[in-house]
Structure 1
Amino acid sequence: MRSKGRTVRAALAGIVGVGIGLSSLGTTQAVAQESAPAREFVHNAAPADLPDDRIERFTGDLRGAIGQWTGVRSCSRARRATEARKAAYERWIGQQTLARRGKTLLVAGVGPGQWRFENRRTDGRRSCKGWYQSAPAYAHFY
Protein backbone atom coordinates (compact mmCIF):
# COMPACT_ATOMS: atom_id res chain seq x y z
CA MET A 1 0.00 0.00 0.00
CA ARG A 2 1.21 3.51 -0.68
CA SER A 3 0.41 6.68 1.18
CA LYS A 4 2.00 10.00 0.20
CA GLY A 5 4.88 8.21 -1.53
CA ARG A 6 5.78 6.12 1.47
CA THR A 7 5.25 2.43 1.78
CA VAL A 8 2.97 1.50 4.62
CA ARG A 9 3.83 -1.86 6.05
CA ALA A 10 1.76 -3.52 8.69
CA ALA A 11 1.83 -6.99 10.14
CA LEU A 12 0.08 -8.66 12.99
CA ALA A 13 1.11 -9.54 16.48
CA GLY A 14 1.80 -13.10 17.49
CA ILE A 15 -0.52 -15.20 19.48
CA VAL A 16 0.24 -15.42 23.18
CA GLY A 17 -1.35 -18.75 23.88
CA VAL A 18 -4.41 -20.90 23.90
CA GLY A 19 -6.88 -20.63 26.74
CA ILE A 20 -9.49 -23.07 27.93
CA GLY A 21 -10.13 -26.29 25.99
CA LEU A 22 -13.55 -27.93 26.17
CA SER A 23 -14.24 -31.46 25.04
CA SER A 24 -17.58 -33.19 24.55
CA LEU A 25 -18.92 -35.63 21.99
CA GLY A 26 -15.83 -35.51 19.80
CA THR A 27 -15.78 -31.71 19.59
CA THR A 28 -13.04 -29.59 21.10
CA GLN A 29 -13.31 -25.81 21.37
CA ALA A 30 -10.73 -23.38 22.64
CA VAL A 31 -10.12 -19.66 22.87
CA ALA A 32 -6.88 -17.89 21.97
CA GLN A 33 -5.94 -14.36 22.99
CA GLU A 34 -3.46 -12.27 21.01
CA SER A 35 -0.92 -9.98 22.55
CA ALA A 36 -0.72 -6.30 21.72
CA PRO A 37 1.18 -5.67 18.48
CA ALA A 38 4.92 -5.13 18.66
CA ARG A 39 6.16 -1.61 17.82
CA GLU A 40 7.56 -2.59 14.43
CA PHE A 41 4.13 -3.86 13.34
CA VAL A 42 2.42 -0.48 13.73
CA HIS A 43 2.78 2.28 11.15
CA ASN A 44 3.50 5.52 12.98
CA ALA A 45 4.40 8.69 11.10
CA ALA A 46 2.87 11.26 13.45
CA PRO A 47 5.02 14.25 14.42
CA ALA A 48 4.64 15.23 18.05
CA ASP A 49 3.37 18.77 17.33
CA LEU A 50 0.20 18.02 15.30
CA PRO A 51 -2.98 19.68 16.58
CA ASP A 52 -5.15 16.97 18.08
CA ASP A 53 -8.40 18.40 16.70
CA ARG A 54 -7.25 17.91 13.08
CA ILE A 55 -6.51 14.21 13.44
CA GLU A 56 -9.29 11.92 12.17
CA ARG A 57 -9.47 8.62 14.06
CA PHE A 58 -11.17 5.54 12.66
CA THR A 59 -11.63 2.14 14.24
CA GLY A 60 -13.18 -1.05 13.01
CA ASP A 61 -13.70 -4.67 13.91
CA LEU A 62 -12.37 -6.98 11.21
CA ARG A 63 -14.10 -10.16 12.37
CA GLY A 64 -16.80 -9.94 9.68
CA ALA A 65 -14.20 -9.40 6.95
CA ILE A 66 -12.05 -12.30 8.13
CA GLY A 67 -14.67 -15.01 7.96
CA GLN A 68 -13.74 -18.58 8.92
CA TRP A 69 -10.86 -20.85 8.05
CA THR A 70 -11.45 -24.58 7.76
CA GLY A 71 -9.45 -27.74 7.28
CA VAL A 72 -8.73 -31.22 8.54
CA ARG A 73 -6.34 -30.06 11.25
CA SER A 74 -4.17 -27.11 12.27
CA CYS A 75 -7.06 -24.63 12.64
CA SER A 76 -5.67 -23.93 16.10
CA ARG A 77 -2.30 -22.77 14.81
CA ALA A 78 -1.53 -19.11 15.37
CA ARG A 79 -0.18 -18.78 11.83
CA ARG A 80 -3.57 -19.65 10.30
CA ALA A 81 -5.35 -17.04 12.42
CA THR A 82 -2.68 -14.41 11.80
CA GLU A 83 -2.72 -14.91 8.03
CA ALA A 84 -6.51 -14.59 7.91
CA ARG A 85 -6.43 -11.40 9.98
CA LYS A 86 -3.53 -9.89 8.06
CA ALA A 87 -5.33 -10.25 4.71
CA ALA A 88 -8.48 -8.62 6.14
CA TYR A 89 -6.44 -5.81 7.74
CA GLU A 90 -4.63 -5.02 4.49
CA ARG A 91 -7.97 -4.79 2.64
CA TRP A 92 -9.43 -2.59 5.39
CA ILE A 93 -6.50 -0.17 5.56
CA GLY A 94 -6.49 0.06 1.75
CA GLN A 95 -10.18 1.01 1.79
CA GLN A 96 -9.60 3.58 4.53
CA THR A 97 -6.71 5.14 2.61
CA LEU A 98 -8.67 5.29 -0.66
CA ALA A 99 -11.67 6.85 1.07
CA ARG A 100 -9.46 9.64 2.44
CA ARG A 101 -7.42 10.71 -0.56
CA GLY A 102 -5.33 13.75 0.15
CA LYS A 103 -5.02 12.86 3.83
CA THR A 104 -1.82 11.55 5.36
CA LEU A 105 -1.95 8.23 7.17
CA LEU A 106 -0.33 8.87 10.53
CA VAL A 107 -0.90 5.73 12.57
CA ALA A 108 -2.48 2.40 11.66
CA GLY A 109 -2.45 -0.97 13.31
CA VAL A 110 -4.38 -3.68 15.09
CA GLY A 111 -5.31 -4.22 18.70
CA PRO A 112 -5.26 -7.54 20.51
CA GLY A 113 -7.87 -9.89 19.14
CA GLN A 114 -9.57 -13.05 20.30
CA TRP A 115 -10.25 -16.08 18.13
CA ARG A 116 -11.74 -19.53 18.58
CA PHE A 117 -11.24 -22.86 16.94
CA GLU A 118 -13.15 -26.10 16.97
CA ASN A 119 -11.90 -29.61 16.20
CA ARG A 120 -14.47 -32.28 15.32
CA ARG A 121 -14.61 -35.99 14.66
CA THR A 122 -17.75 -37.14 12.91
CA ASP A 123 -18.05 -40.58 11.33
CA GLY A 124 -14.34 -41.10 11.93
CA ARG A 125 -13.42 -38.01 9.88
CA ARG A 126 -11.52 -35.10 11.32
CA SER A 127 -12.42 -31.51 10.56
CA CYS A 128 -11.76 -28.14 12.10
CA LYS A 129 -12.72 -24.51 11.76
CA GLY A 130 -11.54 -21.27 13.28
CA TRP A 131 -13.02 -17.79 13.55
CA TYR A 132 -12.37 -14.44 15.22
CA GLN A 133 -14.59 -13.14 18.00
CA SER A 134 -12.91 -9.73 18.01
CA ALA A 135 -10.30 -8.23 15.72
CA PRO A 136 -9.96 -4.47 16.31
CA ALA A 137 -8.08 -2.23 13.87
CA TYR A 138 -7.45 1.52 13.83
CA ALA A 139 -6.21 4.26 11.50
CA HIS A 140 -5.46 7.93 12.18
CA PHE A 141 -5.30 10.46 9.33
CA TYR A 142 -4.25 14.12 9.18
Structure 2
Amino acid sequence: MFDHTHRTTMALLLTPLAIAAGGAAETTEYVCAPAKAVECDSNLECAAPIPLVAPPTFFHVNLNERVITLLGPAERRGEVTNIDHLEQGTNQVLMGGVEAGRAWSMAISEEDGQYTLTVNLGDVGWVVFGQCIAADLVSP
Protein backbone atom coordinates (compact mmCIF):
# COMPACT_ATOMS: atom_id res chain seq x y z
CA MET A 1 0.00 0.00 0.00
CA PHE A 2 2.83 2.44 0.78
CA ASP A 3 6.11 2.52 -1.04
CA HIS A 4 9.56 2.64 0.53
CA THR A 5 9.95 6.41 -0.14
CA HIS A 6 6.73 7.24 1.72
CA ARG A 7 7.72 5.09 4.69
CA THR A 8 11.20 6.60 4.83
CA THR A 9 9.85 10.15 4.63
CA MET A 10 7.27 9.50 7.34
CA ALA A 11 9.83 7.92 9.64
CA LEU A 12 12.18 10.87 9.20
CA LEU A 13 9.41 13.39 9.78
CA LEU A 14 7.73 11.84 12.76
CA THR A 15 10.70 10.74 14.72
CA PRO A 16 12.01 14.12 15.72
CA LEU A 17 8.48 15.44 15.88
CA ALA A 18 7.47 13.15 18.35
CA ILE A 19 5.83 15.98 19.89
CA ALA A 20 4.07 17.80 22.49
CA ALA A 21 2.11 18.72 25.63
CA GLY A 22 -0.36 18.37 28.48
CA GLY A 23 -1.06 19.99 31.80
CA ALA A 24 -1.94 23.47 32.94
CA ALA A 25 -2.10 26.53 30.70
CA GLU A 26 1.09 27.97 32.22
CA THR A 27 3.07 24.85 31.33
CA THR A 28 5.75 25.59 28.73
CA GLU A 29 7.64 22.28 28.69
CA TYR A 30 6.30 18.76 28.29
CA VAL A 31 7.52 15.19 28.09
CA CYS A 32 5.43 13.13 25.67
CA ALA A 33 5.11 9.56 24.47
CA PRO A 34 3.30 8.26 21.40
CA ALA A 35 0.71 5.54 22.05
CA LYS A 36 -0.84 4.69 18.66
CA ALA A 37 -0.19 5.60 15.03
CA VAL A 38 -1.96 4.96 11.76
CA GLU A 39 -0.89 5.54 8.15
CA CYS A 40 -3.58 6.15 5.50
CA ASP A 41 -3.33 6.60 1.74
CA SER A 42 -5.57 8.64 -0.59
CA ASN A 43 -7.80 5.57 -1.13
CA LEU A 44 -8.51 5.56 2.63
CA GLU A 45 -6.58 2.34 3.10
CA CYS A 46 -5.13 2.54 6.59
CA ALA A 47 -2.68 0.38 8.50
CA ALA A 48 -0.16 0.58 11.30
CA PRO A 49 2.98 2.29 9.98
CA ILE A 50 6.12 0.23 9.52
CA PRO A 51 9.02 2.42 10.68
CA LEU A 52 12.31 2.24 8.82
CA VAL A 53 14.19 3.75 11.74
CA ALA A 54 13.73 3.27 15.47
CA PRO A 55 10.40 4.90 16.29
CA PRO A 56 10.29 7.68 18.87
CA THR A 57 9.52 6.65 22.42
CA PHE A 58 9.71 9.95 24.35
CA PHE A 59 9.93 13.63 23.36
CA HIS A 60 10.52 16.94 25.11
CA VAL A 61 8.49 19.93 23.91
CA ASN A 62 9.78 23.40 24.79
CA LEU A 63 7.19 26.01 23.82
CA ASN A 64 9.38 28.97 24.82
CA GLU A 65 12.24 27.82 22.58
CA ARG A 66 9.82 26.46 19.95
CA VAL A 67 11.57 23.11 19.64
CA ILE A 68 10.73 19.45 20.06
CA THR A 69 13.66 17.23 21.06
CA LEU A 70 13.68 13.46 20.83
CA LEU A 71 14.58 11.81 24.16
CA GLY A 72 14.36 8.19 23.12
CA PRO A 73 15.32 5.75 21.90
CA ALA A 74 18.93 6.36 22.91
CA GLU A 75 20.31 6.16 19.36
CA ARG A 76 18.02 9.02 18.27
CA ARG A 77 18.30 11.19 21.39
CA GLY A 78 18.88 14.86 20.60
CA GLU A 79 17.14 15.03 17.21
CA VAL A 80 15.30 18.36 17.01
CA THR A 81 12.23 19.63 15.14
CA ASN A 82 11.44 23.35 15.05
CA ILE A 83 7.94 24.56 15.89
CA ASP A 84 7.14 27.11 13.16
CA HIS A 85 3.64 28.01 14.33
CA LEU A 86 2.41 28.09 17.92
CA GLU A 87 -0.83 29.37 19.40
CA GLN A 88 -3.15 28.93 22.32
CA GLY A 89 -6.48 27.32 21.44
CA THR A 90 -9.45 26.65 23.68
CA ASN A 91 -8.01 24.31 26.34
CA GLN A 92 -5.28 23.18 23.97
CA VAL A 93 -1.89 24.15 22.61
CA LEU A 94 -1.73 24.18 18.81
CA MET A 95 1.54 23.91 16.90
CA GLY A 96 2.86 23.00 13.51
CA GLY A 97 5.57 23.34 10.97
CA VAL A 98 7.23 22.03 7.86
CA GLU A 99 10.04 19.51 7.82
CA ALA A 100 11.61 17.88 4.76
CA GLY A 101 8.93 19.55 2.63
CA ARG A 102 6.07 17.98 4.58
CA ALA A 103 3.54 19.75 6.78
CA TRP A 104 2.85 18.58 10.34
CA SER A 105 0.46 19.81 13.02
CA MET A 106 -0.26 18.89 16.60
CA ALA A 107 -2.89 19.71 19.20
CA ILE A 108 -2.26 19.03 22.88
CA SER A 109 -5.05 19.06 25.44
CA GLU A 110 -4.28 21.18 28.48
CA GLU A 111 -6.93 19.29 30.43
CA ASP A 112 -5.60 15.74 30.17
CA GLY A 113 -2.35 15.92 28.16
CA GLN A 114 -3.60 13.84 25.24
CA TYR A 115 -2.23 14.86 21.85
CA THR A 116 -2.95 14.24 18.20
CA LEU A 117 -0.23 14.72 15.60
CA THR A 118 -0.76 14.66 11.84
CA VAL A 119 1.78 14.62 9.02
CA ASN A 120 0.80 15.34 5.41
CA LEU A 121 2.68 13.56 2.64
CA GLY A 122 0.37 14.34 -0.26
CA ASP A 123 -1.35 11.03 -0.97
CA VAL A 124 -0.29 9.52 2.38
CA GLY A 125 -0.82 10.84 5.88
CA TRP A 126 0.02 9.76 9.40
CA VAL A 127 -1.97 10.33 12.57
CA VAL A 128 -0.29 9.74 15.93
CA PHE A 129 -2.06 9.72 19.30
CA GLY A 130 -0.21 10.00 22.59
CA GLN A 131 0.10 11.45 26.07
CA CYS A 132 2.11 14.30 27.58
CA ILE A 133 2.79 15.59 31.08
CA ALA A 134 4.38 18.79 32.30
CA ALA A 135 8.17 18.33 32.27
CA ASP A 136 8.49 19.52 35.87
CA LEU A 137 6.41 16.53 36.98
CA VAL A 138 9.09 14.09 35.78
CA SER A 139 11.95 15.82 37.60
CA PRO A 140 12.88 14.55 41.07
TM-score by length of 2: 0.27
Larger radius of gyration: 1
